[in-house]
Amino acid sequence: MRNPRPPKPKGTCSIISLGCPKNLVDSERMLGLLEQGGYRITPEPDGADFVIVNTCGFLQIARQESLQTIRQMLRLKKRGKIRGVIVAGCLAQRDKEKLFEQCPGIDQIVGVFGRDEIALAADRLIGGRPEEKTVFRRPSATPLCDGGRLRLTPRHLAYLRIAEGCDRLCTFCSIPDIRGRYASKPLDQVVAEAEQLVADGARELILIAQDTSRYGLDRGGEPQLARLLARLEQVDGLAWLRLMYLYPMHVGEELIEVLASGRKIVPYLDLPLQHINDTILRGMKRQVGRADTERLLDGLRQRIPGLVLRTTLMTGFPGETDEQFEELYEFVARRRFERLGVFVYSREPDTPASRLPDQIAPEVAEARRDRLMTAQQEVAFAWGRSQVGRQMDILIDSNIPDQRNAFVGRSYADAPEVDGVVYVTGEGLAPGRLVACEIVAAREYDLIAVAVGEPQ
C-alpha cells in the first residue's frame, strides 16, 4: 500500500527571532504549533506566504532593531514578495495596538501570552479575516508549555526555560511589565521537556529564566533549583548542563554543593551583578550588596574547581560618580572574571530609574564601558593563554566550510553566541560529538585545539 499523500499545506511561513534565548524558545514553540496547524516552514522570508517577526522590547536599541525589521518585512509585502506580516513577542506585548500606527500594514499582533494561538493568527491572515487583528491574553499562574518545538538551534544544543516572568523590581528594567510575575514550571514538566529535547538530539541543555536561582520559590516557599538539577542529572543521553541568568540572591549552600558535585553540570555560571558599589546597587534595588557578593564569589571559587564565571555590568546608572565607577573598575580588575559583558544604562520609559535625578551623559557612560571592556580584554586574553597545553572536552558545533577536518566547537567555558569558540582539527568529527582535545594556541577570545581522543 502506498503512503497517503500528505495534505497540502495551508501556506508557508518564515520567522525572524530577535532578542534573547527566552524569545528564541517562544519562536521555536510557535514554529512547532504552526507546523502542527498545517503550515510549512521555510527558512527565507522572501517568497513565504507570511513572516513572523518575534520582537525584543527590552531596550531602546532592541526596539529600534525590531521596528527596522518589521518595516523591512512590510516593504517585502508591498512588493508582493510575501502576503502578510505577524508581529509577536515583547515589543508586541509592550506597545500592543500602537504598532499598527508605527508600522502601517501589519496584519496580526500576538502578545507574549497569546503565543500558543499563533496558528489562529495565521489562519486569520490566510483566510482574509482582517476584522480580528490581535491576540492578547493575561499571564497564567502556570507558565506555558515549551514542548513540541521546532528548534532553530543546532540539534545538539537546546535552551530549557524553567520559569517565566520576574518578581525583581530592578529600577532600570521593564521586563516585569512585559513578561509578568515570576512563575516556575512544575518540576516534572521541566524534566519532561528536557527528556523530549534530549530525545530530539540535544546533548547540551542551557537552563534559562529571567531569574534562574529563584526557581521554585513561588511554588514551594523555597528555591528548588538544586532539586531540579539533581533530577536533570539523571536524564539519559545528556552530556552538559549549563546555567544562565543566575541571580546572586538565592545561590545558597545546597545549590553550591549540587553545582560542585554534579557530573553533567559544567563549571560555568552566568551571574549578572550589574554593579558593585552599594549606593548604586540600592538605587537599582538589586537586594544584594558588595559584602554578600564578595562572599559568594569567594565561596564559588573555593568550592567549584575550574569555575568559569560570566557576569554583566552596567555603566552610567543615574548618579554614578567617578569614584563609584572607579570602585567598579577596581573590582573587575581584581576579580578577573573569565567572561564579562558591559551595558550602558538605557533610560527606559516608565521605569523608576528614568525619573531619578543626575542622569549620566551617554558619552560618559560609553567611555566608562569602554574602559571596563579594555581591562576585561586583558583578563580574557590571559585566561585563554593559560589554557594552552591543557586537555579538555570540546563539543563540536559545525564544520568549517571548504576546510578538511576543521571544525568550530566550544569548551565548557563557552556559552553559545555570547562567548568565544574553539577551532578544532581532527578526523572523524561531526557536529554534536564530544571529543578530548589539546589546546595548542590562543587567539584573542578563541582557542585552537587538536583532537587527541575518540569522538563520543
Q: Domain containing 437 — which CATH number?
A: 2.40.50.140
Sign of CA dihedral 162, 19, 285, 364: positive
C-alpha cell at 257: 554543593
Structural domain contains residue 410: yes
Residues 353 and 374 in one domain: yes
Distance of CA 24 to CAs 29, 149, 249, Å? Answer: 9, 10, 26
Give the residue carrying C-alpha cell 534565548. Answer: 21
Give the SS3 label for residue 354. Answer: helix
pLDDT in tens, 10-65: 999 999 999 999 999 999 999 999 999 999 999 999 999 999 999 999 888 999 99
In 125-264, where do the E strands start and end?
134-135, 157-161, 163-164, 183-184, 204-208, 240-243
Q: Are residues 195 and 161 in the same domain?
A: yes
Owning domain of residue 407: 391-451
pLDDT (0 to 100) of residue 4: 53
**200 shares its domain with 324:** yes
CB count within 10 Å of CB 422 equals 23
* d(C-alpha 414, C-alpha 182), whole Å: 28
Number of domains observed in the structure of the chain: 3
Please list the ranges in the chain whose pLDDT falls under 70.
Answer: 1-6
Q: Looking at the DSSP assignment, which residues form a beta bridge with residue 449?
A: 424, 439
Is residue 4 situated within a structural domain?
no
What is the secondary structure of 276-336 as a DSSP string? --HHHHHHHT-S--HHHHHHHHHHHHHHSTT-EEEEEEEE--TT--HHHHHHHHHHHHHH-
Q: How far apart are CA 324 and CA 119, in angstroms?
A: 51
298 and 372, same domain (yes or no)? yes
- Residues 228 and 366 placed together within one structural domain of the fold: yes
Q: What are phi and psi of 157, to 5 degrees?
A: -135, 150
Euclidean distance between CA atoms 385 and 382, whole angstroms: 5
427 in any annotated domain: yes
Residue 159 pairs in a beta bridge with 206
| Residue 221's CATH number | 3.80.30.20
Identity at 198, one-letter amino acid code: V
Q: Distance between terminal CA atoms of the chain? A: 40
Assess if residue 3 is contained within a domain: no
What pTM was estimated for this model as a whole? 0.94
Give the cell for residue 77: 509585502
β-bridge partners, 12: 40
- Is the domain of 209 the same as that of 307? yes
As to burial, measured by CB atoms within 10 angstroms (0-12 exposed, 13-18 middle, 19+ buried), residue 245 is: buried
Residue where a domain stops, chosen among 385, 400, 423: 385
Residues 114 and 163 in one domain: no
pLDDT at 44: 93
131 and 170, same domain (yes or no): no
In a domain, 206, yes or no: yes
In 3D, which of 44, 28, 8, 185 has the Cα closest to residue 116? 28
The residue out of 135, 167, 185 marking a domain boundary is 135
Residue 141 counted as domain residue: no
Residues β-bridged to residue 409: 396, 422
Tell me, rounded to whole angstroms, the distance of Cα 355 from its chain centroid. Answer: 29
Crossing angle (nearest 10°) for helices 362-386 and 322-335: 10
147 within some domain: no
Quote the pLDDT of residue 379. Answer: 96
CATH code, 52 = 3.40.50.12160
Instruction: Identify whether residues 95 and 177 lie together within a single domain.
Output: no
Same domain, 254 and 356: yes
Residue 84 lies in a domain: yes
Q: Domain ends where: 385, 407, 441?
A: 385
With CA atoms as reference, report the closest residue to 339 among 287, 286, 270: 270
> Do residues 381 and 410 both lie within one domain?
no
Alpha-helical runs (H) found in 86-186? 90-95, 98-102, 118-127, 175-179
Q: Rounded to whole angstroms, how far apart are CA atoms 141 and 421?
A: 39
Residue where the block lists cell 517577526:
53
Are residues 212 and 356 located together in one domain of the fold?
yes
Torsion 161-164-170-171 (CA) sign: positive
